[in-house]
A and B are shown apart, each in its own frame.
Chain A
Amino acid sequence: MTAVVSSSPATPRRVPAGRLAVYGVVLAIGLALAFAPFLFPDVRAQEVAARICIFIVLVASYDLLIGYTGIVSFAHTMFFGLGAYGTAIALKALGPSFTAIAVGGGAGLIATLVLALLIGLLSLRVKAIFFAMVTLAAASVMLVLASQLSDYTGGEDGITYQIPRAFAPAFKLFEDADGKVVRLFGVPLNGRIAAYYFVFLTSLALFLFMLRVVASPLGSVLKAIRENEMRAEAIGYKVVAYRTAVFCLAALIAALAGILRAVWLKYAGPDVVLSFHIMIDILLMVVIGGMGTMVGAVIGVVVMTLAQFYLKDLMQIGADATAGVPIVHQLLEPDRWLLWLGVIFILLVYFFPAGIAGTLMNKEWRR
């Protein structure tokens, strides 16, 4: 696996400038997310910020698989969806309460664990490529099941439901003497803020947990498996057991991210939690950010999310400018943004397999 650059810097005492820049950017993103409701008070920006938080967790957990262990799975959205649908169905059936979130989320997590164990033990013994195919097949069956079992999942339309009152915009977190909601920097401290910080803090905790995992001895074993499976096995590590364990761990974290998404969105449907497009998004984010670097996930998610908004605008300009030209016009249609992202993706895999974070972090000691 030459795709992922690893190994420690040649001169360990000097911290490379690129590495500092990456950490600086990630820290800035983290701070921006931490104060997002106050920095960007409008509703749409908050949606974007929450989406970024959740996707950072999702993408980082995927990076545990693809970047750290060298496992290619296409079932990550399946676990994301299991968490989200479990929560959604419970909230719909039991009414808006924290118990429902716990019950539904718990059920989703258990289903995730069982499925991940099954898939892992069944097919992680064989080649990476075989595993990728099995997970792809499993994920699409789950997608079909979600749209066919419409009595429970709402089919293609998905499920809408109420979330606990503490997270609703009408809920007052702090009241002043007049019974009005307290404002901080002009932003009302209502339930929506509570929901955002629930999402943000849980995401932060999960991300820090994953940072801890990759820095632990377990993380070193995973990298050893990625670099040379035979040698890892020969040293005495049970490769199948480690792979299955990390697959289950990543799946569980993805399911937790799914729970967050379900709580934040008040909606669960194939398009937002289960579809193949999300899987492609995750893949793009991991590769753009940089495989095998947890901070790469943060950068990848932010870059992709912003690109999704601005690339479309840019293409609209291009499409307007070429309105007369038949094929070019169609290719520049804003709906075709995925086409260009796909091209960028291919070029990235060719020329910068380490992604943005990986390339920058290795910049100094490469020369």
Chain B
Amino acid sequence: MGINLDRIGGVYLLPVILALIAFVFIGQFSSWATLTVAGLSMGMMIFLMASGLSLIFGLMDVLNFGHSAFVSFGAFIAATVLAALGAWLAADSALLNMAALFAAIGAATAFGAVAGWAFERVIVKPVYKDHLRQILITMGALIVAEQLILAIWGGVPIQVQRPAILTGSIILGDVSIEIYRVFAFLLGLAVYAALYLVLNRTRLGLLIRAGVENREMVEALGFRIDRLFVGVFMAGSALAAMGGSMWAGYQGLITPAIGGELMILVFIVVIIGGLGSIQGSLLGAILVGLMANYVAFLAPKLSLASNMLLMMAILLWRPWGLKPAVKG
């Protein structure tokens, strides 16, 4: 039984099984399809945020509790850029629309990369290999970052404009699909593909994977893994900021609490998926996204608790997560 399951996909079947179970409960194809698309796109956005965290941990044994600060900053920077380019967004031309959107996402991502570099050098570097102080210091950094957001943007919720071309929905039969969700899904998929190719097809990726597997050995072979790590940290932070900017457009209204709210989901994803692997993060993110949407439809009050229960169940079954790249 176990062997057969592995041959047809193993743990990757879980989202499919979840979707099928949800279909039985929902019973109506159109709402099920809408929810599935929503879940997949939400999963992809969370994947953006989670993959960086997971890789950073896998490579350097550093868990950044301040990761969500990049998500919040990404969201707010994207909102500011979009507001500044309001004329382009409302314009009839698809080109200008997309230019504004990519400017916003690009600004957020660039900020994530630069801030990630500074964060790594100033905050994380002095406390390598000391988990207790890592947790404390990144937590302190999170407090400071949240307060900075409050100081810069104020405590009031900010309206985020969406480009005209991505508003509205496509109607297929009696299934309506929001265009923005499709876009979010495709962007997430593209990032996953890029990450996958870099990690599996390039020399850099080989080094990163080797570093996740056994850092000392790679260092012994003469590679400067700490430099590599700064790069991974920057990339992870940039991805988090990108996820935050996408999320800002998805939600339409953002508050300074956005990072904190998402961090819980991101943590659940990383725990479910197993630390250090992007496949695990993708799997976990999609499970969490689907679960959140199905349960929000079936029993709204249980939405967040359901993901907690999912995490508990998976931890009972596999204490290291579904697809861990590092153990111990």
Contact = CB atoms under 8 A, between A and B. Distances in A.
Given A2-B130, A72-B132, A134 B315 contact: yes
A103 B137 CA distance: 40
B131 interface: yes
A258 B40 CA distance: 41
Interface string B286-328: 0000000000000001001100100110011001100000001
A132 B328 CA distance: 15
B47 to A, nearest CB: 17
A133 interface: yes
A266 interface: no
A126 B143 contact: no
Interface in A318-367: 327, 330-331, 333, 335-336, 338-339, 341-343, 345-346, 349-350, 353
Given A141-B304, A345-B140, A72 B135 contact: yes
A1 interface: yes
A130 interface: yes
B267 interface: yes
B140 A346 contact: yes
Contact of A349 (B140, B267, B315, B316): B140
A129 B140 contact: no
Contacts of B63: 129, 132-133
A130 B65 CA distance: 12
B148 interface: yes
A145 B305 contact: yes
A342 B301 contact: no
A349 B126 CA distance: 11
B132 A137 contact: no
A343 B65 CA distance: 16
A interface majority secondary structure: helix
Interface string B240-260: 000000000000000000001
A128 B132 contact: yes
B268 A137 contact: yes
A342 B140 contact: yes
Size class of the A contact interface (CB-based, 8 Å): 35 or more
B104 to A, nearest CB: 23
Contacts of B312: 122
Nearest to B306: A141
Contact of B143 (A70, A330, A345): A345
A66 B132 contact: yes
Contacts, number: 111
A220 interface: no
A287 interface: yes
B147 A336 contact: yes
A331 to B, nearest CB: 6
Interface in A122-150: 122-123, 125-130, 132-134, 136-138, 140-141, 144-145, 148-149
Interface string B249-289: 00000000000100110011011000100000000000000
A1 B132 contact: yes
Contact of A333 (B141, B151, B268): B151
B315 A129 contact: no
Contact of B139 (A2, A283, A338): A283
Given A122-B312, A122-B315, A141-B304, A339 B136 contact: no
A59 B152 CA distance: 32
Contacts of B121: none
Given A2-B130, A126-B319, A280 B139 contact: yes
Given A276-B260, A336-B151, A350 B137 contact: yes
Nearest to A141: B308
B271 A148 contact: no
A127 B63 CA distance: 11
A353 B133 contact: yes
Nearest to B261: A140
Contact of A132 (B130, B135, B150, B311): B135
Nearest to B260: A276
A53 B115 CA distance: 41
A25 interface: no
Contacts of A141: 264, 304-305, 308
B18 interface: no
Contact of B264 (A70, A136, A283): A136
A128 B131 contact: yes
Contacts of B319: 123, 125-126
A115 to B, nearest CB: 11
Given A126-B320, A129-B135, A144-B304, A339 B144 contact: yes
A149 B130 CA distance: 39
B123 interface: yes
Contact of B147 (A132, A133, A339, A346): A339
A128 B134 CA distance: 11
A170 interface: no
Contact of B137 (A136, A330, A338, A346): A346
Contacts of A148: 301
Interface string A255-280: 00000000000000000000010001
Given A72-B135, A134-B271, A283-B136, A1 B320 contact: no
Given A335-B150, A350-B137, 5 more contacts: A129-B134, A134-B311, A339-B147, A343-B140, A346-B140
Interface of A: 1-4, 66, 70, 72, 122-123, 125-130, 132-134, 136-138, 140-141, 144-145, 148-149, 276, 280, 283, 287, 327, 330-331, 333, 335-336, 338-339, 341-343, 345-346, 349-350, 353
Interface of B: 57, 63, 65, 123, 126-127, 130-137, 139-141, 143-144, 147-148, 150-152, 260, 263-264, 267-268, 270-271, 275, 301, 304-305, 308, 311-312, 315-316, 319-320, 328
16 contacts: A1-B132, A2-B130, A72-B132, A122-B315, A126-B319, A127-B131, A127-B328, A129-B57, A130-B271, A141-B264, A141-B305, A280-B139, A341-B143, A349-B133, A349-B136, A350-B126
The 6 closest A-B pairs by CB, nearest first: A339-B147, A342-B143, A342-B144, A346-B140, A345-B140, A141-B308
